């Protein structure tokens, strides 16, 4: 296969989400594809939340990183299929936990809109990233960013972020 | 298949106007968690609006951009529901002054959120593939928005005497504005005919069920609807939109093309 494509993946490997500096863009599922073109490479990224302020930064990071490596690249943003937390690798989830963020549970794609809305409080069993207890409660559906909810551990009292299934 | 531009603008204007309105709570939320929650919900709405404006601008050509659509159209060109531009309090008389009432904010978000989970869900099957892609993303966010608003409707309604009274007043004030949801505009009718848009009337029973169930849990009652049907999505707005746009568009119009 093309060594340029491999070199591009390798060059982009250290890039992380600016909000979560322990997980790479590839592990998060933001970096989707790299393809060779007539004059360089085309890199496909997909946004997480539509209003996520980190997306502009991520696109700039990708461009700057490749420019520095002397790779001529075009960055394309693709919406479909919509990004989902299910694309996060197990390694990424473990890194999140170690970083103090409870990783997302699985989404429930078959669940209808109305079922989702009526499910209250959410039965997601969220383990405390500090002590592992599942004796936790939600403090707020929105934490430091839209993608996270704010939880509290009732055993060790630690407040923590939960990366919501999306 | 391409959605009519007016249909995209209706969806985009809804998102940007509510995003701007709710952002007014940033730094003024009743509690820190809610301050942050509403700012995040606003970011989602503005993100959805950007995607829709970008799509509309690409289809319009002629130098249109997301910024020209958000910042350089006048009030009568906006296609948002009147409900979304209203201030965070009930009607006032004469020179009366009012503080923002969080119950109004929450009940509005609840009525709109209950509609949008149904709209976005239906639009994931739109014949316009670009619109369907935006709908698939927006649906994921709208579900959390509705969850948040419904939680608070119950908390306020089934809370103290004061919170119950204010929540009921907000429901009574805002309910009539939801009548606008169910009268299709020409853009909606055109979009439905081509398999792009959603027939809003077909969503009404599901919306009623969601709303009635939550209001019952919140010990709130649903008011009888009078004959008034607002026409914001036709560009005929309340007196409040002009002030909202004045604040939102002022900087861009004073310094066209400014960057930082
Ligand atoms: Zn704990």
Q: What ipTM does this complex have?
A: 0.87
User: With contact defined as beta carbons under 8 Å apart, do B157 and B222 qualify?
Assistant: no
Task: Return the SS3 of A21.
Answer: strand
At B225, the pLDDT band (50, 70, 90 cuts) reads confident
Whole-angstrom distance, CA of residue A17 vs CA of residue A30: 9
- Joined together, the tokens standing for residue A61 give 């990071």
CA B152 to ligand 1 center in whole angstroms: 26
pLDDT, average across residues B235-244: 96
Residues of chain A with C-beta less than 8 angstroms from the C-beta of B26: none
pLDDT, average across residues A24-29: 93
Nearest CA to B253 out of B64, B30, B36, B73 is that of B73
pLDDT digits (tens, 9 = 90+) for B7-52: 999 999 999 999 999 999 999 999 999 999 999 999 999 999 999 9
pLDDT, average across residues A5-16: 95
Count chain A–chain B contacts defined by CB atoms under 8 A.
96
**Residue B237, domain member (yes or no):** yes
Nearest CA to A100 out of A124, A140, A125, A128 is that of A128
pLDDT value for B257:
83
At A102, the pLDDT band (50, 70, 90 cuts) reads very high
Whole-angstrom distance, CA of residue B8 vs CA of residue A48: 21
pLDDT value for A63:
94
Whether residue A120 and residue B147 make contact (CB cut-off 8 A), yes or no, is yes
Whether residue B150 and residue A117 make contact (CB cut-off 8 A), yes or no, is yes
Residues of chain B with C-beta less than 8 angstroms from the C-beta of A79: 51, 130, 133-134, 136-137
Nearest CA to A136 out of A103, A116, A162 is that of A162
Whole-angstrom distance, CA of residue A52 vs CA of residue B52: 15
Question: B151 is in which domain, residue-wise?
Answer: 5-254
Residues on A contacting B at a C-beta cutoff of 8 Å:
47, 49-53, 79-84, 113-114, 116-118, 120, 122, 139-146, 150, 164, 166
How far apart are the CA of A14 and the nearest CA of chain B, in angstroms? Answer: 27
Residue whose token pair is 């997302």: A104
Arch. (CATH architecture) of A3-77? 2-Layer Sandwich (3.30)
Whole-angstrom distance, CA of residue A160 vs CA of residue A130: 9
Residues of chain A with C-beta less than 8 angstroms from the C-beta of B137: 47, 50, 79, 82-83
Whole-angstrom distance, CA of residue A39 vs CA of residue B104: 55
CATH code (residue B114): 1.20.1260.10
Candidates A51, A120, A143; nearest CB to B46: A51
Whole-angstrom distance, CA of residue B59 vs CA of residue A111: 34
Q: Rounded to an integer, what is the distance from CA A126 to the centroid of its chain?
A: 17
Q: Is the pLDDT of residue B180 over 80?
A: yes
- Joined together, the tokens standing for residue A50 give 């539509």
- pTM equals 0.93
pLDDT digits (tens, 9 = 90+) for B141-165: 999 999 999 999 999 999 999 999 9
Whether residue A51 and residue B117 make contact (CB cut-off 8 A), yes or no, is no
pLDDT value for A141:
87
φ/ψ of A137, rounded to 5, equals: -130, 150
Whether residue A142 and residue B40 make contact (CB cut-off 8 A), yes or no, is yes
Domain count, chain B: 1
pLDDT value for A86:
93
Q: Which helix (H) or strand (E) holds A44?
A: strand A40-45
pLDDT value for A32:
94
At A111, the pLDDT band (50, 70, 90 cuts) reads low
Cβ neighbours of residue B245 under 8 Å, at least 6 residues apart?
Answer: B74, B75, B78
Residues of chain B with C-beta less than 8 angstroms from the C-beta of A159: none
pLDDT digits (tens, 9 = 90+) for A56-99: 899 999 999 999 999 999 999 999 999 999 999 899 999 999 99
Q: Chain-wide mean pLDDT for chain A?
A: 89
Q: Is the pLDDT of residue A113 over 80?
A: no
pLDDT, average across residues B118-137: 96
**Residue B87, domain member (yes or no):** yes
**Residue B259, domain member (yes or no):** no
pLDDT, average across residues B178-205: 96
Residues of chain A with C-beta less than 8 angstroms from the C-beta of B43: 49, 51-53, 146
What distances in angstroms separate CA B181 from CA A1, A46, B203, B232, one per listed residue? Answer: 54, 32, 10, 10
Strand bridging mode A73-77 / A40-45: parallel
pLDDT value for A145:
87
Q: Is the pLDDT of residue A120 over 60?
A: no
pLDDT value for B96:
78
Cβ neighbours of residue B62 under 8 Å, at least 6 residues apart?
Answer: none
How far apart are the CA of A108 and the nearest CA of chain B, in angstroms? Answer: 11
Where do the domains of chain A lie? 3-77, 90-163
Candidates A83, A139, A164; nearest CB to B144: A164
Task: Return the SS3 of A37.
Answer: strand
Whether residue B136 and residue A82 make contact (CB cut-off 8 A), yes or no, is yes
Residues on B contacting A at a C-beta cutoff of 8 Å:
33-34, 36-37, 40-48, 50-51, 114, 117-118, 121, 129-130, 132-134, 136-141, 143-144, 146-148, 150-151, 154, 206, 209-210, 213
CA A86 to ligand 1 center in whole angstroms: 24
pLDDT, average across residues B87-96: 86
Candidates A82, A113, A139; nearest CB to B117: A113
**Residue B260, domain member (yes or no):** no
Return the residue of B nearest to A150 by Cα.
B33
At A122, the pLDDT band (50, 70, 90 cuts) reads low
Whether residue B36 and residue A140 make contact (CB cut-off 8 A), yes or no, is yes
pLDDT value for A55:
87
At B94, the pLDDT band (50, 70, 90 cuts) reads confident
Return the residue of B nearest to A78 by Cα.
B133
pLDDT, average across residues B218-238: 93
Tell whether the torsion through CA atoms of B103, B219, B158 and A157 is positive or negative.
Answer: negative
């Amino acid at each position: 296969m093309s060594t340029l494509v491999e070199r591009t993946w390798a060059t982009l490997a250290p890039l992380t989400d600016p909000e979560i500096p322990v997980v790479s863009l590839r592990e998060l599922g933001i970096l989707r594809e790299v393809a060779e073109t007539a004059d360089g490479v085309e890199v496909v990224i997909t946004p997480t939340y539509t209003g996520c302020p980190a997306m502009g930064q991520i696109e700039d990071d990708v461009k700057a990183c490749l420019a520095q490596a002397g790779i001529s690249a075009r960055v394309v943003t693709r919406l479909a299929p919509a990004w989902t937390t299910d694309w996060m690798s197990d390694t990424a989830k473990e890194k999140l936990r170690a970083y103090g963020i409870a990783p997302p549970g699985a989404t429930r794609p078959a669940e209808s809109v109305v079922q989702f809305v009526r499910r209250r409080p959410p039965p997601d069993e969220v383990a405390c990233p500090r002590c592992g207890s599942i004796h936790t409660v939600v403090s707020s559906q929105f934490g430091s960013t839209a993608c996270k909810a704010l939880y509290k551990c009732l055993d060790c009292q630690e407040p923590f972020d939960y990366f919501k299934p999306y | 298949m391409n959605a009519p531009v007016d249909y995209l603008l209706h969806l985009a204007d809804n998102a940007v106007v509510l995003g701007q309105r709710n952002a007014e709570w940033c730094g003024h939320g009743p509690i820190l968690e809610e301050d942050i929650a509403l700012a995040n919900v606003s970011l989602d709405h503005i993100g959805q609006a950007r995607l829709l404006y970008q799509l509309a601008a690409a289809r319009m050509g002629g130098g249109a951009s997301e910024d020209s659509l958000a910042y350089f159209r006048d009030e009568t060109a906006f296609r948002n529901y009147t409900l979304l531009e209203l201030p965070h309090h009930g009607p006032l008389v004469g020179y009366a002054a009012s503080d923002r009432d969080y119950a109004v904010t929450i009940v509005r978000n609840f009525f709109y959120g209950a509609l949008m989970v149904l709209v976005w869900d239906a639009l994931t099957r739109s014949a316009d593939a670009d619109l369907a892609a935006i709908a698939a993303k927006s649906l994921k966010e709208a579900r959390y928005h509705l969850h948040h608003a419904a939680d608070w409707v119950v908390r306020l309604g089934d809370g103290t005497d004061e919170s119950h009274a204010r929540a009921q007043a907000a429901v009574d004030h805002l309910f009539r504005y939801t009548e606008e949801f169910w009268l299709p505009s020409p853009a909606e009718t055109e979009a439905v005919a081509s398999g792009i848009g959603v027939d809003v009337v077909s969503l009404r029973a599901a919306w009623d069920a969601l709303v009635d169930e939550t209001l019952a849990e919140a010990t709130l009652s649903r008011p009888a609807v009078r004959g008034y049907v607002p026409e914001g999505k036709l560009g005929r707005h309340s007196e409040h939109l002009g002030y909202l746009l004045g604040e939102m568009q002022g900087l861009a119009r004073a310094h066209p093309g400014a960057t930082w």
